[in-house]
Amino acid sequence: MHAHKNTQRLVDQFIAMAKISSPSRQEGRLAAYLKPELEALGFTVEFDNAGELAGGDTGNLIATLAGDPDIEPIVLSCHMDTVTPCIGVTPIIEDGVIRSDGTTILGGDDKAGIAAILEGVRRIRERGVRHGLIQAVFTICEEVGMHGAMGLDYSKIRAKRAFILDADGPIGQILVRGPAKDAIQAVIHGRSAHAGLKPEAGISAIQVAASAIDRMKLLRIDEETTANLGQITGGGATNIVTDRVELTAEARSLSNEKLDAQGTHMKTCFEDAARESGATVEVNIERSYFAFSLDADEPVVRHCTTAIRHLGLTPTLTSTGGGSDCNVFNRHGMKAIDLSIGMTDVHTCKESLRIDDLELTARLVEALIEFSDHAA
């Protein structure tokens, strides 16, 4: 792919951001960098109070650029936080690829998306292209449970159509389905006794847990649903019948209804095993986030496929097994999709980003803005 005359400007901006440490709940320095950058592009910048709710040093950044009211307004979104280790990132460029020096992550997840949004809007402005209202929403705490998106002040969001630039994989890939997830905790209460002198006086919470697990459907349930026991804790000395065991688990499904059924099934297994043994159990199931599913003919999807084809690429619609801000945005009445931007080996110290992919993502942002009016 031939470089754009401003590819270097894009790379320089990404590297400047990569060097700013922004672990979850400490996105303040990156937010302070972004505010004047966005204002220079004509955006009005404000922050909500999600940071207070999440215990962080800044809220979500919500930037608004006025536009033609006859053109569909859009949200372009990324998250500002990165996973660790992220202190002292030293980006290195070799053979058209940006990576860290191997001691930290790079932070392309999700600073590559932020850089592409800034550059894409900058090019639209420089070319004098007519556009609708554009909102850049840069969230906090995505990597630790989407607390930013969950605490976002949605009254400030003036568009219903959202493009989130936060997926690995080849550019042209659109995530249109994502799972719901339940966090499951069970505490089994048995009865302690001396294991050598009078074991029959005890009720082993470990045995109850084993009985519950034995009847439980786990791992791959069907093509849309998974479940996993992550941790079992309890017990101590071998001469004491264990009276308390705690289990943590999760279940996910692309169908909210199937997830409800799996959670009920797991809860019933615990309760039946406890009742049969004379033990008691407390099961707590919390919905971490809800599933989303958008059809190919949904306007936001058609809009995106038009932009991707304009770049000479073939759009592909796919699903993901993980949660992201996309789940939360869709839950709050927006039509949101997550776009792949070419990131590789994210969440590791081997993370890398091809400059060609960064350039292509900036062009994708340009196309998303430019083709807004063709999309409704």
Cα(153)–Cα(48) distance, rounded to whole angstroms?
6
Q: Is the dihedral of CA 209, 210, 214, 217 positive or negative?
A: positive
Instruction: Verify whether residue 81 is a known catalytic residue.
Output: yes
Cα(250)–Cα(292) distance, rounded to whole angstroms?
18
Cα(231)–Cα(209) distance, rounded to whole angstroms?
12
User: Within a 13 Å sphere around the CA of 135, how many CA atoms are in the beta-carbon half?
Assistant: 21
Measured between alpha carbons, how far is residue 314 from residues 4, 173, 311, 335, 341 in Å? Answer: 21, 8, 9, 22, 14
Cα(248)–Cα(229) distance, rounded to whole angstroms?
6
Measured between alpha carbons, how far is residue 290 from residues 69, 286, 299 in Å? Answer: 32, 11, 21
Q: Which of 27, 48, 72, 81 is catalytic?
A: 81
Instruction: Verify whether residue 142 is a known catalytic residue.
Output: yes
Cα(174)–Cα(337) distance, rounded to whole angstroms?
7
Is residue 139 within a helix (H) or strand (E), and if so which, with residue range? strand 134-139
Q: Which of 27, 109, 110, 142 is catalytic?
A: 142
Asked if residue 329 lies in contact with residue 162, where contact means CB atoms within 8 angstroms, the answer is yes
Tell me which residue of 22, 154, 20, 32 sits closest to 79, measured CA to CA.
22
Tell me which residue of 300, 304, 295 sits closest to 364, measured CA to CA.
304
Neighbours of 137 (CB within 10 A): 26
Asked if residue 244 lies in contact with residue 187, where contact means CB atoms within 8 angstroms, the answer is yes
Helix, strand and coil percent figures for the chain, each rounded to 5: 35, 30, 35
Tell me which residue of 113, 139, 140, 114 sits closest to 26, measured CA to CA.
140
Could you list the active site residues?
A: 81, 142
